[in-house]
Amino acid sequence: MKLEQLERETAWVRHLSPEGELTEQGRKFWDSLSVERKKDFYRWMSYIRMFDRRSVILQRQGRIGTYAPLEGQEAAQVGSALALGKEDWIFPSYREHGVAMIAGMPLPQIFLYWMGRVEGCKPPEGVRLLPPSVPIATQIPHAVGAAWASKLKKERSVAVAYFGDGATSEGDFHEACNFAGVFKVPAILFCQNNGYAISVPFSRQSASETVAQKAAAYNFPGIRVDGNDVLAVYDVMTQAVERARAGQGPTLIEAVTYRKGNHTTADDATRYRPEQEVTEWVERRDPLERYVKLMKAEGLLTDEEMAEWEEECKERVDRGIREAEASVPAPPPHLFAHVYAEPGANELRQIKELEEMGGSGK
């Protein structure tokens, strides 16, 4: 995606510039926030970044499987997730580890998911987080269905579907939008538009100039926001949640952002992204660095506090890794345990072959 396209001013919500300076509207919003909430944004973004970098290292060491990095998208995930309540439902894709952490998923279980363990898909009681959806866009109709149920049951909860820009070219996205618009369900469709559907730029997989404008076809609001601006994301998400709770229906949010690294650890983004574009986003538009500049300028953060928080994050991540790796290994037949209620002929044959290879786990 060309930078000019991303910088379209129409429907672009931004409170904090890449230089760490508040816009006029941003200053008003900033002044309305508590000090603790302002610190939450920094703490979560830096914690999630450390988790992400360690996960990439773990994959390279062969200690977890293929991993989907999120560095660069911390503001979109933190700003949106902190606007939700415990009663709300979250339907993530495979890149929302930060959202999962804020929702209350224990870190060892997140690591277990990337180790291929089913335990990593089951959140604790009271955490309304669905397992990560790897198929593109399939979680969006699920979220709309949950929102519809909430409406029929006259509950207060909203349902949020997280997805990337590539998902908006899928039929599931459009069917979900159509249903959500017709029945005015309390759903939020949150797109992290990082410019690429794996290696395909947005301009090659959609004739629409923006994701947000697609909402017009279904007669509900589509909001385009700077996804590297945690304040703006939190603001628009909060408004969407309030709108949904008030019975005013769904909202589509397009958070324009950029993943710094590869699509997954099995990808090589240098093969399809222009060097100048990467440099611009990585060196000038970093969501965490711009927020740190603001916090320091406002006298809310010092280098000493940053060092202390970094050390605490390191200890948390180290502990999460230790607990995950200390889990009792799953027996090989576990591969077949959660696919079918009753294994078919092919599965029975494969289980037998596994046992003959000595992989019974006994």
Active site residues per annotation:
259, 263, 272
Cα three-residue angle 345-346-347, rounded to 5 degrees: 95
- Here the tokens at position 63 are 């200690």
Q: Which stretches of 50-153 are assigned E, i.e. beta strand?
A: 89-91
Quote the DSSP letter at residue 234.
Answer: H
Q: How far apart are CA 192 and CA 268, in angstroms?
A: 20
- Here the tokens at position 197 are 């559907």
Q: Which residue reads 């395909």 in tokens?
A: 200
The helix/strand/coil state of 187 is strand
335, with CB counted inside 10 A (0-12, 13-18, 19+), is: middle
- Partners of 22 in the β-ladder: 16
> In degrees rounded to 5, what are phi and psi of residue 91?
-120, 95
Name the residue type at position 193.
N
Cβ atoms of residues 263 and 47 within 8 Å:
no
Pairing of strands 196-197, 200-201: antiparallel
How far is C-alpha 51 from the geometric centre of its chain's CA atoms? 14
Residue 249 φ/ψ region, left for φ over 0, alpha for ψ in the -120 to 50 degree band, beta for the rest: left
Quote the DSSP letter at residue 16.
Answer: B
Reference 92, options 107, 108, 81, 79; nearest CA is 81
Reference 175, options 211, 135, 139; nearest CA is 139
Reference 80, options 219, 303, 231; nearest CA is 231
Reference 190, options 208, 170, 173; nearest CA is 173
